[in-house]
Chains A and B, each alone.
Chain A
Amino acid sequence: MLEIEDLHVEVDGKPILKGINLEVNAGEVHAIMGPNGSGKSTLAHVLAGRDGYEVTRGRVIYKGQDLLDMAPEARAAEGVFLGFQYPVAIPGVSNVYFLKAALNAIRKHRGEDPLDAIDFMKLSKEKAALVQLPDELTKRSVNDGFSGGEKKRNEIFQMAVLEPSLAVLDETDSGLDIDALKVVADGVNAFRSPDRALLIITHYQRLLDHIVPDVVHVLIDGKIVRTGDKDLAIHLEAEGYAEVRDAVLP
């Protein structure tokens, strides 16, 4: 589903990603772990198409298409979803209105009829219940006045409604208490299916107790330095990143 080949990315002339290679197949859950500043969020933003990142080498193929050539909205319409680390508040734009516009943009892209208000509300209620997002929050302005945990639940709620093929979750666990973490993880697990893939970006292993990955990669200084199974994450949690860094970097 996703092939990243020798991806080099600079921000303001400074190299951040220095040759990423990664292949994610449908049905798989990959975790990318790494210390702060290793380039994890840069990777997530480049995949979603944010401005300000210069790809200097390499390519990203998503479902056979050149992903880097597509506008952010085209990527989303094709089924790429970014769960933001810091979801922005948008005062004046209601959550449900925004999400209905998003869903219908995706449906339009697929050649489907737009969902009407009643069907959308039904869907929205069902998915909000999944992540225990209070009904009142779905009607408020997007993320406006939401707590950290509510913002993250709102991201997973959106993912559940939009049903992407590839979800990139950027530090979805940060700022969550244990109970909220469990709720969010349950939402993500419900999303797993043989025709979807997940890329989970995290600093800590604790989210991976609940969402068990098929493959774990360690990203340090812009490169994937080690790849393994879920036990690698447990090892990292016990030993810290320093041990891996010392082993691979001069």
Chain B
Amino acid sequence: MTQELQTLLDSLPSSFDTGPQWLRSLRGRAADVLQERGLPNKKTEAWRFTPVRSVVDTEFSHADVGAPKLAAPAPEGVTVRSLRQVLDQEPALLEGRLGESESEHFAALNTALFTEGLWIHVAAGVVVEEPLQLVHSLPRAPGPGVSYPRVLVTAETGSEATLIETYAGEAAEQLTNSVVEVELGRNAKLDHVRIHENAGLQVGRVDVRQDADSSYRSIVVTLGGALLRFDVRVLLQGQGAECQLNGAYLVDGNDHVDHHTLVEHQAPRCRSDQTYRGIASGHGTAVFDGIVVVHRGAQKTEAHQENRNLLLSETATVHTKPHLEIDADDVVCSHGATVGSLDKNQLFYLRARAIPKELARAMLTYAFIERVVDEVGHEPTRDRLQEAVLDRIPEGQTIREVT
């Protein structure tokens, strides 16, 4: 990708000729960041545990997968438009909305190169009951291919909606480099479920900006992945905003999945709560890196962060690094991380009640991760995820046999 990157960057100015001035300068800034910093390597702190070489050293061809598709027509009060179309016809609508979070590395690459995407707009006061379901097609190039999905979600004042995004496929050497931006107006609520399933090579980022009293609830479920790097960054910009970032990840075989969170408390009286749980078996590697930053003046902040991992084999690896940076004095913050195996007392308790060892292990493993999946409000999605988790945990089929 390094060589390709240089070629791309050299050719960029001409491809920036189209579109509004603000977009051209946005892309230009992203290109500058890339020129200056390049793609990450082992020495880049935030990418220390990500075996990014396999991506950086591969030459990918740009595969145009078009805009992601909504599973059903948008309900009343929700407008879903092609980014390309809006940028062609009414670019001023997106100025100050798109690309407002500073980005580097892969996100900058997306900003420089995306050609298509979606703008999901939920009008003020609109409450959408049914979730908006977004399915991303993965590139299907003959050789290594890369796509740059881009989504902007605007939830206006007092609106409520659920977005369910799925990245699924089998393509081993296909790279998806996605950026999803979310802006929440005052009092707006968004539940965001994001599912990574057999998703090949994934570098994804969700950038959230929250106005006062808004609520963002994210549930990320990662079911394996050859190489997956997912970052979610939330800026709590208005007083009383709150976010909940939950995640469940399972690695097996030679999977590598890497989840990063960054929550910035920029305003007073905001609340953030994070729970990520993971199961590592086989030769899999899982990474969790979470940062909570409490800015000066963000008094009455409440921030909690928890990462728990179940290590099921001696050859699996977990790196966990939750941390806090606090620059205010009137705050309540906590963080914690654990990496452990199945609890011997619990196992014995189940076996002492005639439950076979394999089933007892499966029950405890499933229970460990299910509590995250259980938070998914949309029942068909929750059921599907529960089945997918059962498929992936050792002896998971024994659980089906008793229900």
The reply to whether the CB of B352 lies closer than 8 angstroms to some CB of chain A is: yes
| Chain B residues in 8 Å Cβ range of A82 | 352
Q: Which stretch, A15-23, A89-97, A199-207, A221-229, touches the partner chain B?
A: A89-97
Chain B positions 344-374 with a Cβ under 8 Å from a chain A Cβ: 344-346, 348-357, 359-360, 363-364, 366-368, 370-371
Cα separation A198 to B176 with both chains bound (whole Å): 63
A76 lies within 8 A of B371 (CB): no
Cα separation A91 to B374 with both chains bound (whole Å): 13
Cα separation A71 to B350 with both chains bound (whole Å): 12
| Chain A residues in 8 Å Cβ range of B356 | 73, 105
Q: Given A88-B343, A90-B346, A97-B403, A77 and B363 touching (CB < 8 A)?
A: no
B348 lies within 8 A of A90 (CB): no
A88 lies within 8 A of B349 (CB): yes
Q: Given A90-B367, A93-B364, A100-B402, A76 and B353 touching (CB < 8 A)?
A: yes
Cα separation A126 to B391 with both chains bound (whole Å): 35
| Chain A residues in 8 Å Cβ range of B348 | 48, 50-51, 72
| One of A92, A97, A102 near B353 (C-beta < 8 A) | A102
| Chain A residues in 8 Å Cβ range of B364 | 90, 93
| Chain A residues in 8 Å Cβ range of B345 | 88
B193 to chain A, nearest CB (A): 20
Q: Given A50-B348, A91-B367, A73 and B354 touching (CB < 8 A)?
A: yes
* CB 8 Å contact bits of A131-152 with B (1 = contact, 0 = none): 0000000000110000000000
Question: Max chain B CB contacts within 10 Å: which of A48, A71, A72, A99?
Answer: A72
| Chain A residues in 8 Å Cβ range of B363 | 93, 98, 101
Q: Given A51-B344, A72-B348, A101-B359, A92 and B354 touching (CB < 8 A)?
A: no
A105 lies within 8 A of B344 (CB): no
Count of residues in B whose CB is under 8 Å from the partner chain: 25
| One of B343, B351, B367, B368 near A76 (C-beta < 8 A) | B351
Cα separation A84 to B350 with both chains bound (whole Å): 12
Q: Given A88-B346, A90-B367, A92-B367, A48 and B352 touching (CB < 8 A)?
A: yes
| Chain B residues in 8 Å Cβ range of A90 | 346, 349-350, 364, 367
B354 lies within 8 A of A102 (CB): yes
Cα separation A75 to B367 with both chains bound (whole Å): 25
B344 to chain A, nearest CB (A): 7
A21 to chain B, nearest CB (A): 24
B370 lies within 8 A of A92 (CB): yes
The reply to whether the CB of A158 lies closer than 8 angstroms to some CB of chain B is: yes
A114 to chain B, nearest CB (A): 8
B349 lies within 8 A of A73 (CB): no
| Chain A residues in 8 Å Cβ range of B367 | 90-93, 141
| Chain A residues in 8 Å Cβ range of B357 | 71, 73
Chain B residue nearest to A90 (CB atoms) is B346
B352 lies within 8 A of A98 (CB): no
* CB 8 Å contact bits of A62-78 with B (1 = contact, 0 = none): 00000000011101110
Chain A residue nearest to B363 (CB atoms) is A93
Cα separation A176 to B192 with both chains bound (whole Å): 46
| Chain B residues in 8 Å Cβ range of A101 | 355, 359, 363, 402
Chain A positions 5-62 with a Cβ under 8 Å from a chain B Cβ: 48-51
The reply to whether the CB of A106 lies closer than 8 angstroms to some CB of chain B is: yes
| Chain B residues in 8 Å Cβ range of A87 | 349
The reply to whether the CB of A174 lies closer than 8 angstroms to some CB of chain B is: no
B352 lies within 8 A of A49 (CB): yes
| One of B343, B351, B368, B403 near A73 (C-beta < 8 A) | B351
* CB 8 Å contact bits of B318-353 with A (1 = contact, 0 = none): 000000000000000000000000011110111111
Q: Given A51-B344, A88-B343, A91-B367, A72 and B402 touching (CB < 8 A)?
A: no
| Chain B residues in 8 Å Cβ range of A162 | 353-354
Cα separation A98 to B403 with both chains bound (whole Å): 10
B340 to chain A, nearest CB (A): 14
| Chain B residues in 8 Å Cβ range of A75 | 352
Chain A residue nearest to B368 (CB atoms) is A92
Cα separation A17 to B262 with both chains bound (whole Å): 55
| One of A76, A88, A91 near B354 (C-beta < 8 A) | A76
Question: Max chain A CB contacts within 10 Å: which of B346, B352, B370?
Answer: B352
| Chain A residues in 8 Å Cβ range of B371 | 91-92
The reply to whether the CB of A109 lies closer than 8 angstroms to some CB of chain B is: yes
A72 lies within 8 A of B352 (CB): yes
| Chain B residues in 8 Å Cβ range of A141 | 367
* CB 8 Å contact bits of A179-203 with B (1 = contact, 0 = none): 0000000000000000000000000
| Chain A residues in 8 Å Cβ range of B344 | 51
Cα separation A97 to B364 with both chains bound (whole Å): 12
| One of A49, A84, A102 near B355 (C-beta < 8 A) | A102
Chain B positions 294-339 with a Cβ under 8 Å from a chain A Cβ: none
B350 lies within 8 A of A98 (CB): yes
| Chain B residues in 8 Å Cβ range of A114 | 402
| Chain A residues in 8 Å Cβ range of B352 | 48-50, 72-73, 75-76, 81-82, 84
Q: Given A91-B371, A92-B368, A93-B367, A105 and B354 touching (CB < 8 A)?
A: yes
Cα separation A90 to B176 with both chains bound (whole Å): 39
B336 to chain A, nearest CB (A): 16
A137 to chain B, nearest CB (A): 17
Cα separation A40 to B70 with both chains bound (whole Å): 64
| Chain B residues in 8 Å Cβ range of A88 | 343, 345-346, 349
Chain B residue nearest to A86 (CB atoms) is B345
Q: List 20 A-B contacts (CB under 8 A).
A: A49-B351, A50-B352, A73-B351, A73-B354, A73-B356, A75-B352, A76-B352, A76-B353, A76-B354, A90-B346, A92-B366, A93-B364, A93-B367, A98-B353, A99-B353, A102-B350, A102-B353, A106-B354, A141-B367, A162-B353
Residues on B facing A (Cβ under 8 Å): 343-346, 348-357, 359-360, 363-364, 366-368, 370-371, 402-403
Residues on A facing B (Cβ under 8 Å): 48-51, 71-73, 75-77, 81-82, 84, 87-88, 90-93, 97-102, 104-106, 109, 114, 141-142, 158, 162
